Structure 1
Amino acid sequence: MVALDSPLSTPLHHHSRSKSRCIKQKKTNYYWTELSAKSLSLQATNSSLIKTLFMPPHHSSVDPKQILTGNFAPVDEIPPTECPVVDGELPPSLNGVYIRNGPNPQHQPHGPYHQFEGDGMLHSLRISHGCATFCSRYVKTYKYSLEQKLGSPAFPNFLSGFYSFADIARCAAFIGRIVTGEIKPRKGFGSANTSLTFFANKIFALCESDLPYVIHLTPEGEMFAFRCSLVVPPFLTLFHFDVNGTKVSNLPIFSVQRPTFIHDFAITKRYTVFAETQLVMKPIKLVMARGTPLDFDPDKVPRIGVIPRYATSESEIRWFSVPGFNAMHIINAWGEDHDENVINLLATNGLSIEHFFHELETVHFSVEKVRIDMRDGSVSRATLSPTSLEFGRINLTYVGRKSRYAYFGVADQVPKMSGVVKLDLELGREVSSRFYEPGCFGGEPFFVARDVSVPDDQLDEDDGYLVSYVHDESTGESKFMVMDAKSPNLDVVAAVKLPQRVPYGFHGHFVREKDLTEN
């Protein structure tokens, strides 16, 4: 009250009526001020409450502000740029182009974002007679082109999931654009950010969320592929293409009775082999804003399906229960004899797979050799290394037949690999390894045969090179590393300094110069 009266110059006992009105007015102003302050405070509280209810804080695994940092942050496209060879010499066997795929969102995500998402970007290194040229380009998918035109994201990140009404509202807007014809889902909605293959003189960028899905090529030039449906059956469909790229058949597999995360498969001379894991898809979680539709089912028993390569009916499939076997990548499969009465499968098994989505860095990946006896239905397994290994590759000329060697990235924090390990499948153990310098991380080690002029059957299986992009987090620089796959320590043969960093990504492929010329 003193504060209200203090502006008056007249003593309190003078002009009592005027003073009374002044005090009353000041009281009214005070109460209005206090009420306004409380109202603003209430509005701030409501705003905070609305923000919490409608846009709750993202889990760290889907928070773009936390994920898109360091070498996970996107980079711009870069035109063909010459690169210096800073260590050793590039061998003649590497004349061609190495291309690696990976996520690289062109726009800052508006909602949840997982490191598996983002527009596909191809980082390629063209090698010719010891010289190297680097280039990074987006895969021009329908999704990428449309969002480039709009200048902002238009497709929800369904794998990340929905966590709030705001996420559902964005999905509703997306559906509205489909209804009005602004977005045409038949043109595709995937990001093509996962892997690559070379087929029918064409390079295909692959991703589960869009065609052409996952592919394996045979020595005869055929292509086998599969796709998964997340909503309606069949939840798994197998495809077969001839050497000209013409689709010969597609076979729906209705014995996969619910949407399942099937990421890879393998082929032998007679069979197609794939693994059904405990990771399932629950689209209802999107409708209820309960996060990612990818879920772990502890009651589900993983299975391996084996079906003839040229099967015409699903009745030809055989299922084998393999408890605890959640295959992420299947590196190879082969039969022990001509009739393939016994099939061997080499794959990485995700332990503690329930943490696959939100805490991927805690998942240990065990390399296992699985033996399936087609006669009596028995299944046995052997672990080949105590180290957590992922992104395995073999000499591709051994796809579908017995291979002795496989090469893996050391999976400290997928997709960051701290080194490379070579496994001898006959000895059942590690035989050589190379770890990168502290703070340096690579990716999938891709095998390239040493001498293309020598027939494959006259070369040792491991006579070649391992190539990968390696990033130095202390300097922010990336290099292309070439290692001798046959040497005891996977010796570095050459290193190329790249003009810009290459974000951590997934799978790659090497295409030889002669194949590029033919194309």
Structure 2
Amino acid sequence: MTKILWQNEIKHTLKNTNHPYLRGPWTPNFVELDACDMEVIGEIPHDIDGIYVRNTENPVHEPIGFYHPFDGDSMLHTMTFKDGTARYRNRFVRTKAFNAEQEAGESLWAGILNTPDMSKRSGWGEQGYNKDASSTDVVVHAGGLLSTFWQCGEGYRLDANTMDQQGALSWAPIDGISAHCKVDERTGELLFFNYSQHAPYYHYGVADKYNRLIHYTAIPLPGPRMPHDMAFTEHYSIHNDFPLFWDPELLKHGQRQLKFFQDMPSRFAIIPRYGDASEVRWFEAEATHVWHWMNAYEEGDEIILEGYYQGNPDPLPLAGYPPEAGKFLANIDSHSFQSKLHRWHFNLKTGAVKEYDLDDRYLEFGTFNQTYAGRKTRYGYSSILKPGWFLFSGIVKHDLETGQTWQMLYGDQRYGGEAPFIPRKNATSEDDGYLVTFVTDMKEDRSECILIDAMDVESGPICRIILPHRICSGTHAAWGDGPTIRQYDSNIW
């Protein structure tokens, strides 16, 4: 029987609604818990040691204007594994905005689908009036959890073991840091970027394994852009300038509307890890947009990059909804923007670019064995999303050498999330380990944490841990190695 060790309910004013991303699998919850001795279907492996963490968008107050699911407050959920046991914790991230709204008892900032004048206070991020919800991404760096916001914010740290709040990053630049900073597990470094409405519009930086800023440089762009992710190899970082960005003419009048300039190329900036603007090499490729990368690596004179190429970066609104709602729903539907796993080759010697699809299916949210980050990987794991929805319905394993794939679906009305790879202790191959994710089962009205044998994904979960409450769907997740995290228990900074 589940043992609840600690419980806390957050003040909230959210009302029942028909909004598709405030109900069903996206129903917010307001209770923070510590729990152990949960029901287990199967057996928790003894050969894993570490922490799985997922970031979720979980609003607590009635929204100002029209709600976008990416507006929600950050709630982190963790499952700590050690010696065949598991412990669950969840916490709201106490951002400055979250604390201010708790004190006010209402929303103070309008979401991304609304106009600046609707916010009651000045805000953060690329648009300047949004709430820094810190609810997009999460990584494990320097022994702690780091949550980040996709339109740039301060970045917030929590203790990886206790989930105690450690506050905003002390070194965050004035333009903040974007979601999708990267951790190089070989060096312990955090590679990050930000973007803004003012020149030079984009910066790149590195923090060391002790969470100290050691490098920061501009990568000038022609104007305001909307980048979302970056990649890295052993010696280089890879950044982008895609032809999907704010319409410059509307921006002059304070209006923000994304436009796809299909006659412009996609541009890729490759920079040495500690390089500056003078060392950037620019490459041009087919016009597209990419929300997320898989991995990148060096091979001979080439840098090879893998990610999710969009065949239709500016999709038409989904049918059956008012135009504004239909458009935002299409923009978060992988079947509308038609994202496929894709590979780019950039030749550093000749400047040539080659690119092609690796899979014909619409896929997104790739993961792989992070101990291979920046080096050549044979295996990757993509998410299958439900057509018309931002809901994860399954996983595809790719053999990137042979092209062979294997698939596992979560089941009817069961929705998972991004599934990080857990290396097995004393692993003997790249795919010797597990995939982990939280799954919400709408038929059973509950959530689970499932583990899948990465060498045999088609067999389904080997273990299902029943959570003490049903959680809200979310976006990104990460795995943190237990022994590495424990090296930082002394909080040496």
TM-score range, shorter chain: 0.7 to 0.9
Cα deviation, residue 284, structure 1: 7.7
Question: Judging changes above 3 Å, is the alpha-carbon distance between structure 1 residues 170 and 221 closer, same or farther for their aligned structure 2 residues?
Answer: same
Q: Deviations over 1:376-429 (max 9, x none)?
A: 221111211111111101100111111100001112245311111001111134
The answer as to 2:310 corresponding to 1:350 is yes
Following the alignment from structure 2 to structure 1, what is the Cα–Cα distance between the partners of residues 92 and 371?
Answer: 29
Cα deviation, residue 449, structure 1: 0.3
Give identity over the alignment, percent. Answer: 27
* Range moving further from structure 2, 277-286 or 392-401: 277-286
Cα deviation, residue 288, structure 1: 6.1
Cα deviation, residue 504, structure 1: 1.3
Paired amino acid for 1:124? T
Question: Judging changes above 3 Å, is the alpha-carbon distance between structure 1 residues 276 and 384 closer, same or farther for their aligned structure 2 residues?
Answer: same
Following the alignment from structure 1 to structure 2, what is the Cα–Cα distance between the partners of residues 508 and 285?
Answer: 35
Paired amino acid for 1:259? P
Q: 1:101 aligns with which of 41, 55, 78?
A: 55
Residue 36 of structure 2 aligns to a residue in which SS?
A: strand
Residue aligning to 1:398: 372
| 1:168-207 alignment, distance < 5 Å | 169-171=117-119, 173-175=120-122, 189-207=131-149
Residue aligning to 1:445: 419
TM-score scaled by length of structure 1 = 0.77
Residue aligning to 2:349: 375
Following the alignment from structure 1 to structure 2, what is the Cα–Cα distance between the partners of residues 275 and 402?
Answer: 21
Question: Judging changes above 3 Å, is the alpha-carbon distance between structure 1 residues 270 and 511 closer, same or farther for their aligned structure 2 residues?
Answer: closer
Paired amino acid for 1:464? G
Paired amino acid for 1:500? H
Contact 1:373 1:379 survives alignment (8 Å): yes
Contact 1:190 1:210 survives alignment (8 Å): yes
Q: 2:199 aligns with which of 221, 226, 233?
A: 233
Residue aligning to 2:66: 112
Cα deviation, residue 488, structure 1: 5.8
* Range moving further from structure 2, 274-283 or 438-447: 274-283
Following the alignment from structure 1 to structure 2, what is the Cα–Cα distance between the partners of residues 266 and 81?
Answer: 36
Contact 1:118 1:193 survives alignment (8 Å): yes
Question: Judging changes above 3 Å, is the alpha-carbon distance between structure 1 residues 82 and 246 closer, same or farther for their aligned structure 2 residues?
Answer: closer
Residue 102 of structure 2 aligns to a residue in which SS?
A: helix
Q: Deviations over 1:174-195 (max 9, x none)?
A: 24x99xxxxxx99x94111111
| 1:4-403 alignment, distance < 5 Å | 65-82=19-36, 84-157=38-111, 159-162=112-115, 169-171=117-119, 173-175=120-122, 189-208=131-150, 209-211=152-154, 212-213=177-178, 214-218=180-184, 219-229=186-196, 231-254=197-220, 256-282=221-247, 293-312=257-276, 314-337=277-300, 341-355=301-315, 357-359=328-330, 360-361=332-333, 362-403=336-377
Paired amino acid for 1:495? R
Contact 2:142 2:485 survives alignment (8 Å): no
Question: Judging changes above 3 Å, is the alpha-carbon distance between structure 1 residues 207 and 83 closer, same or farther for their aligned structure 2 residues?
Answer: farther
Contact 1:447 1:467 survives alignment (8 Å): yes
Following the alignment from structure 2 to structure 1, what is the Cα–Cα distance between the partners of residues 365 and 459?
Answer: 17
Question: Judging changes above 3 Å, is the alpha-carbon distance between structure 1 residues 251 and 437 closer, same or farther for their aligned structure 2 residues?
Answer: same
Following the alignment from structure 1 to structure 2, what is the Cα–Cα distance between the partners of residues 472 and 302?
Answer: 39
Q: Deviations over 1:184-232 (max 9, x none)?
A: x99x941111111122222111123203423222212222111111x21
Please identify the structure whose Cα radius of gyration is greater. Answer: 1
Contact 1:365 1:388 survives alignment (8 Å): yes
Residue 263 of structure 1 aligns to a residue in which SS?
A: coil
Contact 1:365 1:411 survives alignment (8 Å): no
Q: Deviations over 1:15-46 (max 9, x none)?
A: xxxxxxxxxxxxxxxxxxxxxxxxxxxxxxxx
Q: Deviations over 1:46-81 (max 9, x none)?
A: xxxxxxxxxxxxxxxxx9834311111211122112
Cα deviation, residue 237, structure 1: 0.1
Question: Judging changes above 3 Å, is the alpha-carbon distance between structure 1 residues 296 and 357 closer, same or farther for their aligned structure 2 residues?
Answer: farther
Question: Judging changes above 3 Å, is the alpha-carbon distance between structure 1 residues 118 and 287 closer, same or farther for their aligned structure 2 residues?
Answer: farther
TM-score scaled by length of structure 2 = 0.81
Paired amino acid for 2:107? P
Q: Deviations over 1:113-143 (max 9, x none)?
A: 2112211110112234333332221011001
Cα deviation, residue 494, structure 1: 0.3
Following the alignment from structure 1 to structure 2, what is the Cα–Cα distance between the partners of residues 283 and 137?
Answer: 39
Cα deviation, residue 491, structure 1: 3.6
Cα deviation, residue 498, structure 1: 1.1
Q: 2:390 aligns with which of 394, 397, 415?
A: 415
The answer as to 2:453 corresponding to 1:479 is no
Aligned length: 430
Paired amino acid for 1:193? S
Q: Report which of the two has the higher share of helix.
A: 1
Question: Judging changes above 3 Å, is the alpha-carbon distance between structure 1 residues 324 and 193 closer, same or farther for their aligned structure 2 residues?
Answer: same
Contact 1:275 1:326 survives alignment (8 Å): no
Contact 2:63 2:110 survives alignment (8 Å): no
Q: Report which of the two has the higher share of strand.
A: 2
Question: Judging changes above 3 Å, is the alpha-carbon distance between structure 1 residues 73 and 503 closer, same or farther for their aligned structure 2 residues?
Answer: same
Following the alignment from structure 2 to structure 1, what is the Cα–Cα distance between the partners of residues 459 and 253?
Answer: 50
Following the alignment from structure 1 to structure 2, what is the Cα–Cα distance between the partners of residues 99 and 202?
Answer: 11
Cα deviation, residue 480, structure 1: 0.7
Residue 458 of structure 2 aligns to a residue in which SS?
A: coil
Residue aligning to 2:323: none
Question: Judging changes above 3 Å, is the alpha-carbon distance between structure 1 residues 138 and 129 closer, same or farther for their aligned structure 2 residues?
Answer: same
Following the alignment from structure 2 to structure 1, what is the Cα–Cα distance between the partners of residues 400 and 422?
Answer: 19
Residue 434 of structure 1 aligns to a residue in which SS?
A: strand
* Range moving further from structure 2, 78-87 or 265-274: 78-87
Contact 1:225 1:240 survives alignment (8 Å): yes
Q: 1:511 aligns with which of 480, 485, 491?
A: 480
Contact 1:296 1:354 survives alignment (8 Å): yes
Paired amino acid for 1:461? E
Contact 1:101 1:195 survives alignment (8 Å): yes
Two-structure CA RMSD over aligned residues (Å)? 2.6
Paired amino acid for 1:420? I
Residue 360 of structure 2 aligns to a residue in which SS?
A: coil
Residue aligning to 2:322: none
Residue aligning to 1:427: 402
Residue 174 of structure 1 aligns to a residue in which SS?
A: coil
Question: Judging changes above 3 Å, is the alpha-carbon distance between structure 1 residues 287 and 119 closer, same or farther for their aligned structure 2 residues?
Answer: farther
Paired amino acid for 2:442? E
